[in-house]
Copies of this chain bind each other. A is one copy, B any other.
């Protein structure tokens, strides 16, 4: 942590904009005009459609600064937006970042936040082209909007899954949720006894998945290389079950997925056992993995079957068959969603 504390009121709005410009450099040739005017100016590549998404994160709802370092928060706020562009099979290009923050945040704290934003911008080749910084009576709110683009024939929606399609998921499931449980447990221990050191040594993986989620742009590029356009796609922010139900409801289809096919990392399993949780529940309902969930035509199966980052977990059925989860013991249970429980 820096030793000095500068108040935002000392620096002023334009001092802050200058600092931000120094942290996040424009690198994209299609960014015609970045921060500093009434609006940013952007060139969309020939024949491409524009993609636009936005997400808001609120202190005390989406994050707790007791265990979420500001750098990671900045990174995560960008990565979750990139994930929305990835879920359309598009490439992200520019972001805007708006902050509402109380005067407990120093200039140094805001710089840390922007360093995380800059790291994500470099990783995903994004330009920060605008935003707004304002006071808040209490707490921190971060609102990111993202632009991306894609050729029309590459854009993948949620409502276009077809009966017979194969259901695929990237990476592994449940880790971010376990990371959150571990961070919360250690925070409680710390609050009870500030002398205690957090027990995070062997929890790097799950904690990292919570604090620094990676949007799967690698998969978007790989699908383009192998010539696969998914028939539908969504990213997993609220948990597998909830996202699968969006695809099925919007596409007017049913689905069957199999517990014994769901990808689970051993380190996630260790944490599940340690916390005495159900692995099926964690994989189905643990949110914030930001993996991609998509469906492909059966004829594309050969192209993806050897990809270690893609797991086939079931198939699309007709709507009347419902949305079903086949357990390890071959019980058939209807899928349930648990998303959006903030209110």
Contacts and interface: CB of A to CB of B under 8 A. Distances in A.
Contact of A50 (B36, B41, B88, B103): B41
Nearest to A131: B54
A90 B54 contact: no
A250 interface: yes
A158 B55 CA distance: 29
Given A9-B343, A143-B98, A343-B103, A250 B36 contact: yes
10 contacts: A13-B339, A38-B87, A38-B88, A39-B53, A41-B155, A42-B49, A52-B94, A52-B130, A54-B145, A58-B137
B58 A157 contact: no
Interface in A258-284: none
Interface residues of A, number: 70
A52 B36 contact: no
A8 B343 CA distance: 7
Interface of A: 7-9, 12-13, 32-33, 36-44, 49-62, 84-85, 87-88, 90, 94, 96, 98-100, 103, 129-132, 134-139, 141, 143, 145-148, 152, 155, 157-159, 233-235, 250, 339-340, 342-343
Given A13-B340, A342-B134, A49 B32 contact: yes
B143 A39 contact: no
Please provide the 9 A-B residue pairs with the shortest distance between their CB atoms, ordered closest to farther. A135-B342, A39-B53, A38-B87, A143-B143, A145-B145, A13-B340, A9-B343, A56-B98, A60-B137
Given A40-B51, A62-B134, 6 more contacts: A7-B343, A39-B90, A52-B129, A52-B130, A58-B137, A135-B343
Contact of A49 (B12, B37, B41, B233): B41
- Copies of this chain assembled into the complex: 2
Nearest to A94: B52
Nearest to A49: B41
Contacts of A38: 53, 84-85, 87-88, 158, 233-235
Contacts of A157: 33, 37
A85 B39 contact: yes
Nearest to A96: B54
A244 to B, nearest CB: 14
A242 to B, nearest CB: 10
Nearest to A60: B137
A40 to B, nearest CB: 5
B41 A44 contact: no
B340 A88 contact: no
A310 to B, nearest CB: 18
Nearest to A97: B54
